[in-house]
Structure 1
Amino acid sequence: MLAVSIALQGGINEARAEFSGSVSVEQRYFLQDAIYTAQPRAQSSVALSPEWFTEWSDGDNTLVFKPFYRFDQEDSERTHYDIRELIWTHLGQSYEFRAGVGKVFWGQTESLHLVDIINQTDLVDAIDFEAKLGQPMVSFSYYFDAGTLSAFVLPYFRERTFSGVQGRLRPMVPISNDVAFYESDDEQSHVDYALRWQQSIGDWEIGLSYFTGTNREPLLINTGSIEAGDLELFPYYELIDQYGIDLLWVNDSWLYKFEGIHRESETVSFFAGVAGLEYTWVGALGSNYDLGWLIEYQYDERDSNFFVPSQNDLMLGVRWVWNDFDSTEILFGFIQDLDNTNSYNAYLEASTRMTENWKWTMNGYFFATEDIENPYYFIRRDDHVEFNVEFFF
């Protein structure tokens, strides 16, 4: 990390700047031959994620710039650039104002983040829906005894990213990254709005949210036909109103979690929720290790589609935290479709630091189904492991 301090004129305020970031090499290996033509068994990529941070006025003002670039050897659509953050933050005595391109996370549960709707998913970068694109925004948060109230104005929409023809983890026909359709005539220029209230009350954390605007989760529409060989898939983005609630109750070694949403659009009105608990065995068997046991139930009133695989599913997981200097941690999760015993998926996440500047991570994703209506049917032979080595500077 490079830190520079600059004394401003008059010596009243001091600005401090820091430059840091990381560069990583990732290798994916798919355990089975692809279903569709032109798809590789191995996929290599390099990612660069620098960060520039500066603050002034005794920390009341900060500016963060986090660009991101990935080059993928096989999938040209996965080679992409994004501004994850370019955000100015001003802190007042009882408020916070932010403007620029930012990232916001809402939620409590492990297996799904239903209420997390501000940022678009960078799906081509990570299949677990955790990678997010930067969102242009202006936000204002007010802190008072009854909690924190935040308002967001989102003046520009980001389209979801998808794998290309040579990429894995996609349906039979690649989803277009070049053409998208919108319910709003303003398309990407439609202005979205969001509100959120959150509060900690004793052992409880409570969040209530409202969003109105363009849905981050597209529907898929098709033109042409398989028989004619001209089938194409395009994303269609509806206008929605979404009401959300997220809850966390901490009771000694137990965490009880819940997220629920009600969403209304031109085509559908539905409820979805995920509820569960996590128990942490601190110092398991007299060791330095912590073992966490997770269980969550996923429910969604909608029919299956490519982005909604969990209508009636149960997740079981184990988290193994070593509590060592290298921050070693392993997480395993298994999700069973309760309507079809032959449909399930699993994931494995492991990470540790090798030195102060080097870190490795390993992720594995596994899919199984014989049900053609299950979204995982299209990626049923895309089981893979990915190994990532990252250098921090």
Structure 2
Amino acid sequence: MQQLKLWLLPALFSAATSQALDGVEFSGNAGAEWREFLNAGQFNSADDDQARHQFSASIEPELAWQSESGQHIVVFRAFGRWDSEDDERSHADIREASWLTYGDSWELKAGISKVFWGVTESQHLVDIVNQTDFVEAPDGEDKLGQPMLKLSLVQSWGLLDAFILPGFRERTFAGNDGRFRFAVDIAEDDALYQSDKEDRHIDLALRWAHTLDDYDVGLTYFRGTSRDPLFVPQFAGASPQPVALAPLYVLIDQFGLDVQATLDSWLWKLETIYRTFDDSIGTDYAAIDVEDYSAATGGFEYTFYGIAETDWDLGALAEYQYDSRDDAALALGQNDLFVGGRLALNDADSSEVLFGISQDLDDQATRSVLLEAETRLGDSMKLNVEGLLFHSSADDNLSYQLRQDDYIQLSLYYYY
């Protein structure tokens, strides 16, 4: 497991060594996934027909222990996947290996864990603590475990979370036979860092959250190594064309704001960030041109309850995405509109369907369509259906690289 920092693990279990582990609970899930791609991959080395079919199996076991007093909790959750086509997607990770204790107005967690920040549907700008597990899915929703020390203070003026993040995780990328890859190979084994401490740089993060009447407000700050890599071209000989791109992880400061307002049937959402870079990047890497920027995603979800005299609820979604860099080669949501719907059947199986389309307002031919549906099959099984379609005719748009990666996915999970 790439660059996973396990040196915190002995401390995680110190609270449990003096007591019997009679309270251990074992749970988790195992799944099978089938992806069917509608086109041959434009950058794949595998056989065209074979590359359209992708099967994988996953397992995610979890062990949890709680002391008799309830003041010490230890959780260990691992994840592993085997993939039939992409060797890089066959991977394993520790999603959680943490010890938690708490008092009347504080909580302390140490180890490896996952943290989610954000409120919007179409993208999560403020969610920066954990690294994206990109080989799992192209939507950025899956995250790698992050070593951390987290202190939470619960006060009348809000909840304050303070993080020390002592180990950096590099982003995962598809292999030569995988999908959602780019025209030039990613040389992830040759990753570069702005910090001379490389992946040992200690990052810091803060989040304050509070509820003010109908408004849930969060303010965030992050200082450290960016989870989003830049890319430095690698050349061979006198060729003017790069043979690979080396990920470059630079130091950033990021300020964030997220707001969610619940007003009757309306749910208003906003995420906005301002990110700054060190001026030395351009000096050290002449091929990299960065500038401070701001970005925002905001919109609403309006719910129609009991449509057509049924128990079904339909939420209408609309969000606008803005990025001050105004460059579709750097950001997918620089001037885009997302519209969609969420259908909840409110049945015993918790069946739900999410669908939507993201439209680039600068290029009418660039859009993506998504479909996500899920339902339970009895007490222990869950069925997921997912579809993602890309369309772009602009070769300077990031989504142009994915225009032949449309797929339908069927997943079946067993929970134990």
Provide TM-score, normalisation by structure 1: 0.94
Corresponding position of 2:187? 176
Offset at residue 217 of structure 1 (A): 0.4
Matched, 1:147 2:170: no
Contact 2:224–2:252 (CA under 8 A) maintained in structure 1:
yes
Q: 2:401 aligns with which of 358, 378, 386?
A: 378
Counterpart amino acid of residue 179 in structure 2: R
Corresponding position of 2:361? 338
Offset at residue 306 of structure 1 (A): 6.0
CA–CA separation in structure 2 for the residues paired with 1:307 and 1:113: 16
Q: Mark the CA change 1:307 to 1:120 in structure 2 (over 3 Å): closer, same or farther.
A: farther
Contact 1:14–1:57 (CA under 8 A) maintained in structure 2:
no
Q: Unaligned regions of 5+ residues in structure 2, if any?
A: 1-15, 279-289
Greater strand proportion: 1
- What is the Cα-based RMSD across aligned positions, in Å? 1.9
CA–CA separation in structure 2 for the residues paired with 1:59 and 1:287: 43
Aligned residues: 385
Counterpart amino acid of residue 38 in structure 2: L
Offset at residue 227 of structure 1 (A): 5.8
Offset at residue 187 of structure 1 (A): 0.5
Matched, 1:166 2:173: no
CA–CA separation in structure 1 for the residues paired with 2:218 and 2:53: 42
Mapping for residues 1-393 of structure 1, pairs under 5 Å: 16-39=23-46, 40-224=51-235, 231-266=243-278, 267-304=290-327, 308-393=331-416
Offset at residue 37 of structure 1 (A): 3.8
Once the two structures are superposed, what CA deviation does each residue of 1:95-140 show, in whole Å capped at 9, x if it has no partner? Answer: 0000000010111100010000000000011111000000000010
Contact 2:269–2:298 (CA under 8 A) maintained in structure 1:
yes
Contact 1:83–1:101 (CA under 8 A) maintained in structure 2:
yes
Contact 1:156–1:189 (CA under 8 A) maintained in structure 2:
yes
Once the two structures are superposed, what CA deviation does each residue of 1:155-199 show, in whole Å capped at 9, x if it has no partner? Answer: 000000000000011111232231200100000000000011000
Offset at residue 302 of structure 1 (A): 2.0
Displaced runs of 4+ in structure 1, greater than 3 A? 8-11, 225-230, 303-307
Contact 2:184–2:242 (CA under 8 A) maintained in structure 1:
no
Q: Unaligned regions of 5+ residues in structure 1, if any?
A: 1-7
CA–CA separation in structure 2 for the residues paired with 1:36 and 1:48: 29
Counterpart amino acid of residue 323 in structure 1: N
Offset at residue 303 of structure 1 (A): 4.6
Structure 1 vs Structure 2: percent identity of aligned residues? 43
SS of equivalent to 1:285: helix
Counterpart amino acid of residue 342 in structure 1: A
CA–CA separation in structure 2 for the residues paired with 1:119 and 1:112: 15
Counterpart amino acid of residue 153 in structure 1: I
